[in-house]
Structure 1
């Protein structure tokens, strides 16, 4: 990472480029954000992150090679615009299908569950609410300024014919990567870059079609309730019958809710979350240099059949759990 200076807000100004071979490690590269990422498609994960941090905004270009469930928060009082540059399919957001290449706008305090396509190249712009509102007001975009200044937790998607030009513009900003490190030291460069970004956001807010993505669907709320219950009962993982009882629905309704909200069956979802939890725990133990019993960790998350567990783990992550541990132990410190 190239740290240049500290903004008045205390945020570091600079450019960083990093690569990850694990979804949780990838999430941890979003410094100042609190994100959880669980891998849901099968195969080895590869992620790349380009972060450009200025006084009042941050540009993050993220490429991932496996479908993820992502949720969490950005830094305080930020609005987050997410513009996909390339995607292998549509995604699912807050229980709804999200069409490519629609832009998603969220209040940074609440980034609801997003199921990404298997292959995704996306630019996210996190910008201070007050800075964006005042900048839009100075541009004469009073309606857009009023929208963002009072924006609290609803979610919007934006579409329209102007998106390809915006995609190309953000590619040109992010493609230089480390080459920006020197240029960004100069105040005039940073001011010019911020003007370009604010202009692009003004285009999104004023010249593309907007649709409010209201609160989570009933299907997503059911999925959230099931997830909360599962993580509250790690030592006694529920089965499908338990989940039907907890949710007060039939097996068929439960299946339909999960497919609508996430594109997954309940059993796929629960198994995937538990496998991600095992992987996260193994990596944490290895990084801390603590004794590791893969069998004990697996059993704690409800995997008692060893050969079936290792095969499911290998299919999801593209490696055996022992290799996961070894990769962490052999990584440069």
Structure 2
């Protein structure tokens, strides 16, 4: 994600997701700056839409002061709850549906002679997105309670450790030392913020790291060697949890890797 962008997520499913421990209702959008870590917890069989939008572009639409408020929270909402997120969903569907007028025109952008059309479509999509997002605002009070701050700091220390060292802690005791909290407090942090145990969190992080390596065409190590590198020494257990999380085996992921090497036509719409 562009470091000068914001991620906006939303869902129309009955069961609701959580971002940074807060439940997002149907009339609310989850929002986080690209440069900040955040936790997204979702139910099983969950459907989510996402938009990545340039920060400067959004500021021109809603104003710099309002944008600053957006960046200091994780949920914004539409005052008309019944409106939900249908307008944003429709924009996304029209953009990606090859049977819609907009979708067909986007597919034509592979033609190098269509630069003028490209510019018009980009402007149209930008302004349509801004118009829909402009109906949302920050409500409620900021989450600055002591308990919330303590939980966030503990998790942030673990994130920083992983990011700076590239190593994933393998035990609760190691995680507690990194987070500078007791094991009981660490358990509470994960349960309150993410709705999962510390062990489940680390296992899923390591599985995602394995998946990234399997999708990397330049990675030549055997699957068992990659798994071992990330602390999975029991191949049967590794395969079980991998398939449970990604609905496919590690071998199937590696077989599909070539499909992810070519950028799709929507690359023209990335700012």
TM-score (norm 2): 0.71
The Cα of 1:186 is off from its aligned counterpart by 8.0
State the partner residue of 1:121: 48
Structure 2 residue 89 is the aligned partner of structure 1 residue 171: yes
State the partner residue of 1:328: 257
State the partner residue of 2:173: 241
State the partner residue of 2:113: none
State the partner residue of 2:29: 103
The Cα of 1:175 is off from its aligned counterpart by 2.2
Q: Which runs of 5+ in 2 are unaligned?
A: 107-116, 263-271
2:170, 2:231 within 8 Å by CA — same for their partners in 1?
A: no
Residues matched between the structures, number: 243
1:157, 1:212 within 8 Å by CA — same for their partners in 2?
A: no
Instruction: Tell me the alpha carbon deviations over residues 47-83 of structure 1, each in whole angstroms, 9 at most, x when there is no partner.
Output: xxxxxxxxxxxxxxxxxxxxxxxxxxx452x455x35
User: CA-atom RMSD, angstroms?
Assistant: 3.6
Equivalences for 1:10-29 in 2 at 5 Å?
none
Distance 1:109 1:228, change over 3 A: closer
Instruction: Tell me the alpha carbon deviations over residues 251-309 of structure 1, each in whole angstroms, 9 at most, x when there is no partner.
Output: 2222111111111101111111112212221221xx22x53322221111111222222
The Cα of 1:91 is off from its aligned counterpart by 2.6
The Cα of 1:160 is off from its aligned counterpart by 5.0
Instruction: Tell me the alpha carbon deviations over residues 116-153 of structure 1, each in whole angstroms, 9 at most, x when there is no partner.
Output: 44413325362543x555555xxxxxxxx362365584
1:156, 1:210 within 8 Å by CA — same for their partners in 2?
A: no
1:314, 1:320 within 8 Å by CA — same for their partners in 2?
A: yes
State the partner residue of 2:268: none
Structure 2 residue 155 is the aligned partner of structure 1 residue 223: yes
Distance 1:156 1:147, change over 3 A: farther
> Per the alignment, in what secondary structure is the counterpart of residue 39 of structure 2?
strand
The Cα of 1:225 is off from its aligned counterpart by 1.8
Structure 2 residue 102 is the aligned partner of structure 1 residue 180: yes
Distance 1:85 1:293, change over 3 A: closer
- CA–CA separation in structure 2 for the residues paired with 1:329 and 1:194: 31
- CA–CA separation in structure 2 for the residues paired with 1:267 and 1:158: 31
Structure 2 residue 190 is the aligned partner of structure 1 residue 265: no
Structure 2 residue 225 is the aligned partner of structure 1 residue 296: yes
Q: Which runs of 5+ in 1 are unaligned?
A: 1-32, 34-73, 137-144
**1:313 maps to which of 237, 242, 251:** 242
2:61, 2:134 within 8 Å by CA — same for their partners in 1?
A: no
**2:213 maps to which of 281, 304, 309:** 281
Distance 1:327 1:183, change over 3 A: closer
- CA–CA separation in structure 2 for the residues paired with 1:303 and 1:259: 24
> Per the alignment, in what secondary structure is the counterpart of residue 175 of structure 1?
helix
The Cα of 1:324 is off from its aligned counterpart by 2.4
Instruction: Tell me the alpha carbon deviations over residues 171-206 of structure 1, each in whole angstroms, 9 at most, x when there is no partner.
Output: 33222233315667387776665554433333223x
Structure 2 residue 84 is the aligned partner of structure 1 residue 159: no
- Structure with more strand by fraction: 1
